[in-house]
Chains A and B, each alone.
Chain A
Amino acid sequence: MSTPAVAASAIAREAGSLRHVFRWALPVAVILLVVPWIVPQYTAILLTYGLIMAIGALGFNLLLGYTGLLSFGHSAYFGVGAYVVALMVKYLRVGSMELFLLGAIVGSVIVTAVFGFVCVRYTRIFFGILTLALSQVLWSLAFKFFWVTGGTDGLRVPTPSLLAGLATGTGDKTDFMSHTYYYYVLVIFFACVVLMWVIVNSPFGKALQAIRDNETRAEFVGVQIWRYRFVAFLVSGVFTGLAGALWVPLNGLTTPDIMHWTFSGEIVFMTVLGGFRSFAGPIVGAIVFNYLKTYAVGYTVYWQLLLGAVLVALVVSLPTGIVGTAERLAARWKKGS
């Protein structure tokens, strides 16, 4: 099937895209590394939130961008990550971040496996509604079982100790969150980005894209659609669960709001804002959305109106999102010069 020429050009393309990636990724990584020393603490903390949501959106986009499934229930996995951590604090008196992450991964694997088993048989609108309905089951449980979950009061999560007690947040919490915890999140963020990059460029990732583009053909080629979708669902949910676990010590509190389907809508929003057709889209979208929402909330009580208008305008005029539009502009500029 693959002649040497085709293989060679594929390798060249791969190398080209790798070079392209490094040209962008390295400067961004360097900027992210020095940012806490340049910007005010508050901005650094906002960026930490953004990076955490970027991990979640990256996971979400494995389904939307690469598998073609629009989930309206990713708040469930984010919430599972957060609540597993909160319950570990409440019942097991655990304070180690590594154990939190482990617990969140185990918890979200279990929940996504059950939900995924049910959901991946469906596509399009039914997939969206089913994921939404299942996420609402968890929301209503978190909402109603107040003696376990604290109901709408939520559960408090104290500052954890990082790296098996090497770094503890006993001092100034703001300082801890904007520096130590920032780097902790950043390292996990880098690891997640690399992992996701490997996944989407692996044969597995290519098979997912084949399913997205043409389900029937993919099946003829021999791709077991159901199994591939299930694994994608699992990976996607675990990334989002991990984001939930990282989010909760930073926020200090988890409430059922993060399980509600409107929060899933926000995850969709950030991904589309950045552009779900590109790898970096959800990352850019999550960080930008986080700033956008924070400033909108601070600026006006009608922040929903503002964000809703942004979303509608975005879908109407820039469906490829920030990254897609930037790429198009860059290509036009290159051609022009």
Chain B
Amino acid sequence: MEVLLIHLVNALLYASVLFLIAGGLSLIYGVMRIVNLAHGNLYAFGAYVTAWAIGGVAAGAPSSLLLVLLPAGAFAAAVLGAALEPTLLRPFYKRAEEYQLLVTFGLLMILEDLLRFIWGPYPLSASELFENFGSLTIGDSLYPTYNFLVIGVGIVAAVFLWAFIYKTRFGVVLRATSQNMRMASALGVNVNRVYVQAFTLGCFMAGLGGAIVVPGQSAVLGMGVDALVLAFIVVVIGGLGSLEGALVGALIVGVVREAGIAWFPEIELAVLYLAAAIVLLVRPAGLFGRP
């Protein structure tokens, strides 16, 4: 029973991080119709910045200060996103999708090596915060308390995002632009500004995912590429451009991954990709996507 409970908490842990990454990817696609292949690298960038801040610069500081520094990666990713969108992506909205994919693939390669250039080839860890939180007991087993913080952040992020998009003025503008960019533009919406904001928000979420993950595991090269493919599975299952879909997709992928690690480790990844392919076959637009 308690083993099952631990598996469930682990599944929620995966789902929280995946939701942050895939939610950002989906938001960006929903508004700008661009699939950002470099999205995983923004997640990795967030992880590196936070690891550098709380594992390097402020190492040894009390937990409260470390917690304040935790979102540093999210803000850094947001700033990077705000700089990238107008300079690199904006010229491509009017061109064929192939070019958009290619330019973000180029960006992926560049960012991957920039991380190596800035922080070197070795893993960067920030486990101090993770250890400071200690552990609690579930039944007879010890379980790290920090993981509950990650789940909490995931839930809070989902609630905030929902409120942001459905309850604020900015959310209305965002949804309008997403549904019909020309019409929104004709009604006086500054589309360029909405695009920057949406892209920045998406990058912020990816960076936050990296930031909360890094105390529990180290920041390593290649983590972005791996995360991107998982995020792809999430958005394919949930539907590209849909935040509800990203949430449900993240939960499904989280549960399947955890079950896979426990019971069928050899084909865990294959099952995930196959699940995505099957969903695409049955519902091409995903569970919650607009066709």
Could you tell me the distance between the alpha carbons of A79 and B46 in the complex, rounded to whole angstroms?
33
Is B106 on the interface with A (CB-CB < 8 A)?
Answer: yes
Whether A145 contacts B266 in the complex (CB less than 8 A), given A122-B280, A305-B117, comes out as yes
The residue in chain B whose Cβ has the minimal distance to the Cβ of A131 is B277
From B92, B113, B267, B280, contact of A305 by CB (8 A): B113
Chain B residues, Cβ within 8 Å of A311? 102-103, 105-106, 109
Do residues A133 and B113 form an inter-chain contact, with CB atoms below 8 A? no
Is B196 on the interface with A (CB-CB < 8 A)?
Answer: no
Is A129 on the interface with B (CB-CB < 8 A)?
Answer: yes
The residue in chain B whose Cβ has the minimal distance to the Cβ of A70 is B98
Complex interface residues of chain B between 117 and 131 (CB less than 8 A to chain A): 117, 121
Could you tell me the distance between the alpha carbons of A312 and B232 in the complex, rounded to whole angstroms?
22
Interface string of B35-62 (1 = CB under 8 A from A): 1010000000000000000000000000
Is A268 on the interface with B (CB-CB < 8 A)?
Answer: yes
Is B31 on the interface with A (CB-CB < 8 A)?
Answer: no
Is B225 on the interface with A (CB-CB < 8 A)?
Answer: yes
Interface size on B, residues (CB 8 A): 44
**Whole-angstrom distance from the CB of A281 to the nearest CB of chain B?**
14
Could you tell me the distance between the alpha carbons of A273 and B79 in the complex, rounded to whole angstroms?
31
Chain B residues, Cβ within 8 Å of A128? 35, 97, 101
Complex interface residues of chain B between 229 and 262 (CB less than 8 A to chain A): 229, 232-233, 236, 240
Could you tell me the distance between the alpha carbons of A127 and B114 in the complex, rounded to whole angstroms?
30
Could you tell me the distance between the alpha carbons of A319 and B269 in the complex, rounded to whole angstroms?
35
Chain A residues, Cβ within 8 Å of B37? 265
Could you tell me the distance between the alpha carbons of A129 and B273 in the complex, rounded to whole angstroms?
11
Could you tell me the distance between the alpha carbons of A272 and B107 in the complex, rounded to whole angstroms?
16
Do residues A125 and B110 form an inter-chain contact, with CB atoms below 8 A? no
**Whole-angstrom distance from the CB of A44 to the nearest CB of chain B?**
28
Whether A319 contacts B277 in the complex (CB less than 8 A), given A136-B269, A261-B229, comes out as no
Complex interface residues of chain A between 46 and 67 (CB less than 8 A to chain B): 64
Do residues A134 and B91 form an inter-chain contact, with CB atoms below 8 A? no
From A70, A136, A143, A312, contact of B103 by CB (8 A): A312
Chain B residues, Cβ within 8 Å of A301? 116, 121
Could you tell me the distance between the alpha carbons of A128 and B37 in the complex, rounded to whole angstroms?
12
Complex interface residues of chain A between 71 and 113 (CB less than 8 A to chain B): 72
**Whole-angstrom distance from the CB of A173 to the nearest CB of chain B?**
31
Is B270 on the interface with A (CB-CB < 8 A)?
Answer: yes
Chain A residues, Cβ within 8 Å of B267? 140-141, 144
Interface string of A302-322 (1 = CB under 8 A from B): 111101111110011001000
**Whole-angstrom distance from the CB of A297 to the nearest CB of chain B?**
12
Is A126 on the interface with B (CB-CB < 8 A)?
Answer: yes
Do residues A122 and B284 form an inter-chain contact, with CB atoms below 8 A? yes
Do residues B232 and A308 form an inter-chain contact, with CB atoms below 8 A? no
Chain A residues, Cβ within 8 Å of B65? none
From B110, B276, B280, contact of A304 by CB (8 A): B110
Could you tell me the distance between the alpha carbons of A309 and B111 in the complex, rounded to whole angstroms?
10
Could you tell me the distance between the alpha carbons of A95 and B29 in the complex, rounded to whole angstroms?
49
Could you tell me the distance between the alpha carbons of A126 and B95 in the complex, rounded to whole angstroms?
17
Do residues A125 and B225 form an inter-chain contact, with CB atoms below 8 A? no
Could you tell me the distance between the alpha carbons of A130 and B284 in the complex, rounded to whole angstroms?
10
Do residues A133 and B116 form an inter-chain contact, with CB atoms below 8 A? no
From A144, A269, A302, A319, contact of B105 by CB (8 A): A269
Whether A304 contacts B109 in the complex (CB less than 8 A), given A137-B270, A144-B267, comes out as yes
Is A43 on the interface with B (CB-CB < 8 A)?
Answer: no
Is A20 on the interface with B (CB-CB < 8 A)?
Answer: no
Interface string of B49-86 (1 = CB under 8 A from A): 00000000000000000000000000000000000000
Chain A residues, Cβ within 8 Å of B8? none
Do residues A305 and B110 form an inter-chain contact, with CB atoms below 8 A? yes
Chain B residues, Cβ within 8 Å of A335? none
Given contact pairs A140-B267, A269-B102, A308-B107, a sample of 13 additional A-B residue pairs in the complex whose CB atoms are under 8 Å apart: A125-B101, A128-B101, A129-B280, A130-B236, A132-B229, A133-B236, A134-B273, A137-B270, A265-B108, A304-B110, A305-B113, A315-B92, A319-B95
Which B residues form the contact surface with A (CB < 8 A)? 35, 37, 88, 91-92, 95, 97-99, 101-103, 105-114, 116-117, 121, 225, 229, 232-233, 236, 240, 265-270, 273-274, 276-277, 280-281, 284
List 4 tightest A-B contacts by C-beta distance, closest first. A308-B109, A140-B269, A311-B106, A305-B113
